[in-house]
């Protein structure tokens, strides 16, 4: 799972020779991605002008979504938690603070993770195949998932990690310079750096860059609808299909996530769904069938869904990886309900990675991990039978 990083000694923002596992390196630096990657992306001709990550680097921006209450308290209106926050205190996400009766983001322009990724990693399988996405995240999250793969940053505070000082205009400029076709707001829940994300999105519009995100969908309708004006595609984690699962494993709620999915569809943002299948937790086939029927009825049979393989991480290390046979059963259940684009994730080389035409059944896009082999789409349609395939293809 973890690619080795070469290291002899690590200094702030730099990496030297020797051997270190990715997990060990991430534990050291407090981020989920190699700082060298970000340093390369934000380097300048003179090394003295290169971006250096700084621990606890904090810039603020006033949130547009809060209500002032008596006694200097505020209520956050960005996500369904609607945290009531006293002066000098922070909300559940740890990155928003009441300062003098006003609510501020503490992570504006301060990403801790920046990387150039294949778009397929998001995962977005129906958006510009084989292109790269300029991907970024700050610390923080409005969930506490026990199975989080990026818990080192999602469950951290701004002071805990090394961050970069990168204003929105630099993100857009660098994304263009490195040949990315999109900017992705990902790795943690992007709702928590909403102001930063929206400002980047607005600058990216009209430059030829798409805006895409991978989100838990836990956001209130008003800020979501405003985000939809500048967001092109989203992959939403539908983590389970019961309130019990969301409460016990995520410290969240299911109902607002379902509402998010319906709004995204209504606002015509390209939508894909990921369901991480966790042994003994959400792998019951009857529950998966119920979820798939809801997706078909509320969002449409052409909504791509990814059943992703769980690996033991964070607070669920005692569970085994998801058997591939379980993912195959989930995929068969989804197809039997009438869903047309059903994928298996985290199993490189599996047939379930490919895109098939739901009409003529021929393979349209061949994938091996994040690599694209054959592509038989022409003008967004199956080149064999002419059926239009939903997505953003050009």
Q: What is the pTM of this model?
A: 0.89
The interaxial angle of helices 194-204 and 221-228, nearest 10 deg, is: 20
Contacts of 65 (CB under 8 A, 6+ apart): 76, 77, 78, 194, 220, 222, 223
The pLDDT of residue 53 is: 86
Q: What tens-digit pLDDT sequence spans the chain (394 residues)?
A: 322 223 232 223 332 323 334 343 333 333 333 334 666 666 544 444 456 789 999 999 999 999 999 999 999 999 999 999 999 999 999 999 999 999 999 999 999 999 999 999 999 999 999 999 999 999 999 999 999 999 999 999 999 999 999 999 999 999 999 999 999 999 999 999 999 999 999 999 989 999 999 999 999 999 999 999 999 999 999 999 999 999 999 999 999 999 999 999 999 999 999 999 999 999 999 999 999 999 999 999 999 999 999 999 999 999 999 999 999 999 999 999 999 999 999 999 999 999 999 999 999 999 999 999 999 999 999 999 999 999 999 9
Please report the pLDDT score of residue 224 as a whole number.
Answer: 98
d(CA 130, CA 182): 12
Q: Which domains does the chain have, with CATH numbers?
A: 5-48 (no CATH), 61-105 (no CATH), 113-382 (3.20.20.70)
Specify the pairing of strand 162-163 against strand 132-137: unpaired
Q: Angle, nearest 10°, between helix axes 255-266 and 221-228?
A: 30
Three-state DSSP class for residue 84:
strand
Instruction: Establish whether the linkage from the previous residue to 119 is cis, with ω within 30° of 0.
Output: no
Q: What is the DSSP letter of 217?
A: -
What's the rounded Cα separation, in Å, for the pair 360 and 334?
18
Residues in Cβ contact with 297 at an 8 Å cutoff, skipping those fewer than 6 apart: none
pLDDT at 128: 98
Residue 377 near residue 389, CB atoms below 8 Å: yes
pLDDT score at 25: 36
What Rg do the C-alpha atoms of the chain give, in angstroms?
A: 21
Per-residue confidence (pLDDT) for residue 337, from 0 to 100:
98
d(CA 71, CA 95): 22
Backbone angles phi and psi of 87, in degrees to 5: -55, 135
Q: What 3-state DSSP class applies to 182? A: strand
In whole angstroms, what is the distance from residue 282 CA to residue 217 CA? Answer: 18
Please give the Cα distance from 132 to 222 (Å, whole number): 30
């Amino acid at each position: 799972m973890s690619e080795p990083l070469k290291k002899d000694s690590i200094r702030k923002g730099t990496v030297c020779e020797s051997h270190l596992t990715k997990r060990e390196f991430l534990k050291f630096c407090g981020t989920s991605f190699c700082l060298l990657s970000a340093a390369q992306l934000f380097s300048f001709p003179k090394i003295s002008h290169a971006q250096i990550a700084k621990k606890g680097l904090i810039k603020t921006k006033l949130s547009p979504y809060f209500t002032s209450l008596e006694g200097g308290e505020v209520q956050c209106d960005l996500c369904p938690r609607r945290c009531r926050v006293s002066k000098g205190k922070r909300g559940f996400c740890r990155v928003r603070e009441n300062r003098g009766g006003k609510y501020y983001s503490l992570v504006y322009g301060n990403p801790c993770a920046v990387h150039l990724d294949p778009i397929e990693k998001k995962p977005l399988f129906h958006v510009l195949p084989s292109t790269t996405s300029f991907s970024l995240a700050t610390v923080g999250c409005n969930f506490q998932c026990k199975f989080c793969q990026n818990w080192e940053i999602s469950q951290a505070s701004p002071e805990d990690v090394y961050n970069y000082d990168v204003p929105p205009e630099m993100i857009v400029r660098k994304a263009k310079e490195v040949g990315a076709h999109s900017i992705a707001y990902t790795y943690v829940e992007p709702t928590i750096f909403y102001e930063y994300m929206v400002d980047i999105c607005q600058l990216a519009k009209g430059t030829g860059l798409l805006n895409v995100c991978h989100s838990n969908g836990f956001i209130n309708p008003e800020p979501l609808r405003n985000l939809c004006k500048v967001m092109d595609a989203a992959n939403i984690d539908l983590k389970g299909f019961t309130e019990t699962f969301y409460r016990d494993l995520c410290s969240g709620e299911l109902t607002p996530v379902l509402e998010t999915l319906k709004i995204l569809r209504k606002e015509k943002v390209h939508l894909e769904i990921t369901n991480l299948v966790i042994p003994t937790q959400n792998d019951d086939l009857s529950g998966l069938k119920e979820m798939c029927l809801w997706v078909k009825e509320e969002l449409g049979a052409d909504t791509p869904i990814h059943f992703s393989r769980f690996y033991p991480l964070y607070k669920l290390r005692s569970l085994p990886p998801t058997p591939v046979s379980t993912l195959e059963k989930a995929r068969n259940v989804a197809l039997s309900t009438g869903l047309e684009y059903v994928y298996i994730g985290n199993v490189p080389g599996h047939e379930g990675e490919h895109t098939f035409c739901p009409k003529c059944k021929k393979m349209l896009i061949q994938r091996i991990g994040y690599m694209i082999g054959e592509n038989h789409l022409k003008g967004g349609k199956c080149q064999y039978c002419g059926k239009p395939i939903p997505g953003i293809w050009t």
